[in-house]
Amino acid sequence: MRVAVIGTGYVGLVQGAAFADVNHNVTCVDKIKAKIDHLNEFCEGKRNDLPILEPDLPRLVKENYDKKRLRFTTDINEAVKEAKIIFIAVGTPANEDGSANLNHVRNVAHDIGKAMNYESETPIYKIIVTKSTVPPMTYKMVHDAIAEETKNEFDVVSNPEFLAEGRAVKDCLRPSRIVVGTSNAKAASIMDELYAPFKDREVSIMFMSNIDAEIVKYASNTYLAAQVSLTNAMANLSRELGADWRKVLEGVKKDARVGRFVYAGLGFGGSCFPKDVRELIHTMSQHRPGTADLEYVEMIVKQNEAQKELFLPRIEKYYNSIEGKKLAVWGTAFKPETDDTRESAGVHMIKELLLKGAYVSAYEPSGSEQAMFTLSLDEKIKPHLSRLSFVSDMYEAVKDAEGVVITVEWNDFRNPDFLQVKKLLKKPVIFDGKDILNPRQMKEEGFDYFSVGRPDVLGHTK
**C-alpha span between 245 and 237 (Å, rounded):** 9
Q: Which of 165, 279, 352, 448 binds ligand NAD (CB under 6 A)?
A: 165
Q: Which is nearer to ligand NAD, 54 or 435 (CB)?
A: 54
Side-chain-side CA neighbours of residue 214 (13 Å): 21
Q: Which is nearer to ligand NAD, 133 or 407 (CB)?
A: 133
Residues linked to residue 45 through DSSP beta bridges, in sequence order: none
CB contact at 8 A, 14 and 168: yes
Residues 8-27 interacting with ligand NAD (rule: CB under 6 A): 8-12
Q: Which of 21, 54, 155, 161 binds ligand NAD (CB under 6 A)?
A: 161
Residues linked to residue 73 through DSSP beta bridges, in sequence order: 29
Site for ligand NAD contains 272 (CB under 6 A): yes
CB contact at 8 A, 110 and 148: yes
Residues linked to residue 388 through DSSP beta bridges, in sequence order: 360
Q: Could you tell me the smallest distance in angstroms from the CB atom of residue 293 to ligand NAD? A: 23
Q: Could you tell me the smallest distance in angstroms from the CB atom of residue 8 to ligand NAD? A: 5
Piece of the chain touching ligand NAD by CB under 6 A; list 100-108, 237-245, 259-267, 391-399: 100-108
Residues 102-131 interacting with ligand NAD (rule: CB under 6 A): 104, 107-108
- Tell me how many residues contact ligand NAD (CB under 6 A): 26
Identity at 232, one-letter amino acid code: N
Helices (runs of H) and strands (runs of E) counted in the chain: 19, 15
DSSP type of residue 95: P
**C-alpha span between 320 and 315 (Å, rounded):** 8
CB contact at 8 A, 411 and 443: no
DSSP type of residue 332: -
Q: Which of 99, 133, 150, 438 binds ligand NAD (CB under 6 A)?
A: 133
Piece of the chain touching ligand NAD by CB under 6 A; list 7-15, 176-184, 354-362, 387-395: 7-15
Site for ligand NAD contains 35 (CB under 6 A): yes
3-state secondary structure of 128: strand
Q: Could you tell me the smallest distance in angstroms from the CB atom of residue 24 to ligand NAD? A: 19
Q: Strands across the sheet with 429-432, in order? A: 388-390, 359-363, 326-330, 404-406, 429-432, 448-450, 457-458
Site for ligand NAD contains 181 (CB under 6 A): no
Piece of the chain touching ligand NAD by CB under 6 A; list 89-97, 281-289, 377-385, 444-452: 89-97
In the residue annotation, 172 being an active-site residue is answered as no
Please identify which of the residues 28, 43, 172, 272 carries the catalytic annotation. 272
Site for ligand NAD contains 91 (CB under 6 A): yes
Site for ligand NAD contains 454 (CB under 6 A): no
Q: Could you tell me the smallest distance in angstroms from the CB atom of residue 217 to ligand NAD? A: 7
3-state secondary structure of 71: strand
Phi, psi torsion values for 163, nearest 5 degrees: -65, 150
**C-alpha span between 285 and 16 (Å, rounded):** 35
Residues linked to residue 127 through DSSP beta bridges, in sequence order: 85, 155
**C-alpha span between 4 and 28 (Å, rounded):** 6
CB contact at 8 A, 236 and 61: no
Q: Could you tell me the smallest distance in angstroms from the CB atom of residue 141 to ligand NAD? A: 14
Q: Which of 90, 173, 188, 354 binds ligand NAD (CB under 6 A)?
A: 90
Q: Which is nearer to ligand NAD, 30 or 352 (CB)?
A: 30
The stretches of 288-417 forming alpha helices (DSSP H) are 292-308, 311-319, 345-355, 369-377, 394-398, 411-414
Q: Which of 73, 182, 271, 303 binds ligand NAD (CB under 6 A)?
A: 271
Site for ligand NAD contains 343 (CB under 6 A): no
Q: Which is nearer to ligand NAD, 115 or 266 (CB)?
A: 115
Q: Which is nearer to ligand NAD, 331 or 453 (CB)?
A: 331
Q: Which is nearer to ligand NAD, 163 or 354 (CB)?
A: 163
| Catalytic residue ranges | 272
Q: Which residues of the chain form contacts with ligand NAD (CB under 6 A)?
A: 6-12, 29-32, 35, 89-92, 104, 107-108, 132-133, 161, 163, 165, 271-272
